[in-house]
Amino acid sequence: MLPQPLTDDFPKAHSLAPMVRSSFSLLIAVMALAACQNQAAPTSASSAGEPAYAERYPATLASMAAEFEQDEAKIGTESEKLTSFPGELREPKWLEVSAVFERADQAGTRADYVAERDDLERVERFYAQSRDKLRQKVAGAANYAAKQRSCDVELSGTVAGSLDKAFEKELEERLRSHNPAHRYIEDHEEQLGKKNLETLAKQADTITGLSYLARTKLPRAKEELQALIDEEAAVKRTLELQKMQADRTLDDPSSSKVARERAAERSQAAADALARFDADVERAKTLLSDLEKRSEEALKRYQKAYDLLQTAVEDKADEAHEKAQAEKEQKLQKAVAKK
């Protein structure tokens, strides 16, 4: 649900809430649809001959390489925190906790979760790239509605923050609805303890996210990066041809003003892409050469951390059992003493 901090700022702000919520819901729906439509079918033809695609190609390579390194680093840092999870819980049924963690780990490779996660990662990238424009449009609509109701306030900052929070919350809820660990938490609320539910939900999110990265996303990155690198020569030819054609238009005295302006734009775009082309391709090739090894090492780090987590849970279960047995014996001894 979209946060409504506006109500503390001015009396009539509550009347804007439906409009903001409606805008946000429409935004999510449009982005999700765009994400689905942008998934290339296995039989789709290469776009290496398309100038717009070629202009983006170096940045796409760089982004893919950077994303792999970020995911790899996240597995390393976040995995180290897993063994602290049992200490964050207060007297749950530890066998049920183990079951939650097991389902969270498995979800990272399950088709339902993976498909949803893939779609939402595309939505996240779109939102990150378009955040400023989207904020301006939603804030503009909110400010207009406020002025129509004679509210002389500036809502841009508040609405922008609310939009970001609502977006993050919506992504979280969507992912959780595809994660069997969360259904298990709901179905075993009493055994897990109400006081632990929120903490367990966040822990399950972390485990599933790491499992997805280590078991699914990183291993398939090699094939995806290789497919891009295979287009290197064709993309470069496209950029060189675009620049050559644009420069011809610029050198032609008979070219109109409009044609020359467009040609200058195309020439510069091709030149910018070519200027970084070789460096970005070389970086991608270097990554590709040891990507499989690095993916395997990342998986080992996660698997080791997950195994240690389950061992820690087992230790907690043993401690709880021993404590229960000791308390039971004490009660028996007291009962015998009274007799």
Q: Could you report the per-residue pLDDT of 267-298, keeping only the tens digit for each?
A: 999 999 999 999 999 999 999 999 999 999 99
**Window from 17-21, 83-87, 151-155 with minimum mean pLDDT:** 17-21
Q: Could you report the per-residue pLDDT of 75-92, keeping only the tens digit for each?
A: 999 999 999 999 999 999
* Helix, strand, coil percent content, the chain, rounded in steps of 5: 85, 0, 15
- Given this model, what pLDDT does residue 140 score? 67
Residue that wins the pLDDT comparison between 309 and 19: 309
**What whole-number distance in Å separates Cα of residue 16 and Cα of residue 5?**
11
- Given this model, what pLDDT does residue 331 score? 79
Contact call for residues 154 and 143 (beta carbons, < 8 A):
yes
The secondary structure element, H or E, covering residue 202 is helix 197-211
Among left, alpha and beta (phi > 0; psi -120 to 50; other), residue 187 is: alpha
- Given this model, what pLDDT does residue 338 score? 74
**What whole-number distance in Å separates Cα of residue 225 and Cα of residue 139?**
38
- Given this model, what pLDDT does residue 157 score? 65
Q: Please give the average per-residue pLDDT across 130-135, as a whole number.
A: 78
Using alpha carbons, select from 114, 305, 295, 90 the residue that is nearest to residue 208: 114
Q: Please give the average per-residue pLDDT across 9-17, as a whole number.
A: 40
**Does residue 54 carry a pLDDT above 60?**
yes
For the record, the structure tokens of 63 come out as: 């982004």
**What whole-number distance in Å separates Cα of residue 97 and Cα of residue 313?**
8
**Does residue 194 carry a pLDDT above 90?**
yes
**What whole-number distance in Å separates Cα of residue 302 and Cα of residue 286?**
24
